[in-house]
A and B are shown apart, each in its own frame.
Chain A
Amino acid sequence: MTWKKHEYDDIPGTYVFDGRRSHQGYALNKMAFSFNRQENREEFSRDKAAYCRKYALTDEQTAAVLAADFLSLLRQGGNIYYLAKMTTYYGLSIQDAGASFQGISTQEFKAKLVEAGEGFEEKMQKLGGYWGG
């Protein structure tokens, strides 16, 4: 029994959500999916560890949930869209999560995004025909 290797496994800092990860993270993502309902979020609030046990998370996953360590959860099969339901619960935006993956502040993360986009208007003008280009 072996998980097939994929080209995308070599993209650095990236956890492509495939069968292997979905299999590994099934219970974790199922718990996160339950966060769609307010009453479940409230139940989680009352006793987080018990809620993790109810969904049969591993000890390592439970520790990462209690610590709100989303990089660890990603490595343990969490899917980013499901984890976003959990980051929202913890009062964190997807940009806060992105910053935490890199160990930088959200302000620094946002500045990197702006920097990555720099010069886009000139590039559009060169191509021509863009609105406001």
Chain B
Amino acid sequence: MARIIGGVTTSHIPAIANAMTQGLEQEPYWKRFFDGYEPVKEWLTKVDPDVAIVVYNDHGLNFFLNQIPTFAIGCADRYENADEGWGLKTLASFDGDAELSWHIAESLVNQNFDMTMCQEVLVDHGFITPMALMWRHFPKWPVKAIPLVVNTVQHPLPTAKRCYQLGQALGKAIESYPEDLKVVIFGTGGMSHQLQGERAGIINVDFDLLCIEKFIDDPEWLTHLSNDEIMQQAGTEGIETIMWLVMRGALQPKAKLIHKHYHVPISNTGAGVVVLENMEKQ
């Protein structure tokens, strides 16, 4: 049977992708941020996943505002990156796992999550930045990848609670797949940042650290936050942190903490990294 070995949270902002393209990892501005990913890479090497499910939001590459699904899943054998007008380098395509994707979609729909199923997805910086953070040192992507896209762009957005519940259903979906696969889930985005308006540039360290602590030990606490409260505390783009809860919901309540890392500012953002590992089933 397929098994979720653990999950990783990470920011996915394009400034990180640009820094990697330009090889700036050891520059003073970036060093502490990137060095904090080395234990993540070591953990990934140790647990050696077969598939990564990347939970992210599209920023106007694959979806336009004519059609915005609340939750969508890629169901293809391959995903391409493309020019999104942000001046980022286009990365190599990603192998998917269509059979697993369709199994997850079916299971989620049967658990009352009405997913949008996509046989083509152009994956943007929200997807490629985490993949590159984890595996750019490999000559080719060492895992298959599945995009799981959450609308955090056009309100009304799903609630934190709904994202957590989706994660719980995702966990059941994956662990009912008959093939012996090791699956890792990336919850991407956040933490505090606001790109827009006169309030742009807010950073809320106290709230970010509180969210990290609760995320690890008491994720239910986060599900009681309204999107209004999160935007008040963490900024309009800080709302992306709700996507972490998809990852958290899919993991065991008492998953083991492997690593936590926080750095601020990275561009406009408080950047939080948490690695959690599921216990072996008894």
Chain A residues within 8 Å of B, Cβ to Cβ? 6-8, 11-19, 22, 26, 29-30, 32-33, 35-38, 41, 71, 74, 79-82, 84-85, 88-89, 94-95, 97-98, 101-102, 109-110, 112-114, 116-117, 119-120, 123-124, 127, 129-132
Contact = CB atoms under 8 A, between A and B. Distances in A.
Contacts of B30: none
Contact of A97 (B195, B213, B228, B260): B195
A42 to B, nearest CB: 12
A14 B205 contact: no
Interface stretch (B139-147, B170-178, B180-188, B196-204): B196-204
Given A16-B155, A102-B198, A117-B205, A88 B86 contact: yes
Contact of B60 (A11, A85, A95): A85
Given A33-B64, A120-B263, 13 more contacts: A14-B197, A36-B83, A79-B153, A84-B195, A88-B85, A88-B86, A94-B267, A98-B201, A101-B198, A117-B270, A124-B209, A130-B261, A131-B39
Nearest to B270: A117
B45 to A, nearest CB: 17
A116 B268 CA distance: 10
A74 B195 CA distance: 11
B259 interface: yes
B280 interface: no
B236 A88 contact: no
B268 A98 contact: yes
A121 to B, nearest CB: 9
A57 B209 CA distance: 43
A36 B61 contact: yes
A126 to B, nearest CB: 9
16 contacts: A14-B198, A16-B155, A18-B156, A37-B83, A82-B60, A85-B60, A85-B86, A101-B196, A102-B200, A102-B201, A113-B268, A116-B205, A120-B264, A123-B206, A127-B209, A132-B32
A85 B83 CA distance: 10
Nearest to A102: B198
A13 B154 contact: no
A44 B270 CA distance: 35
A131 B196 CA distance: 31
B261 A132 contact: yes
B66 to A, nearest CB: 8
A119 B203 CA distance: 12
B209 A33 contact: no
Most buried by B among A11, A85, A94: A94
Given A13-B198, A14-B196, A101-B200, A22 B265 contact: no
A89 B203 contact: no
Nearest to B226: A7
Nearest to A87: B86
Contacts of B197: 13-15, 71, 74, 101
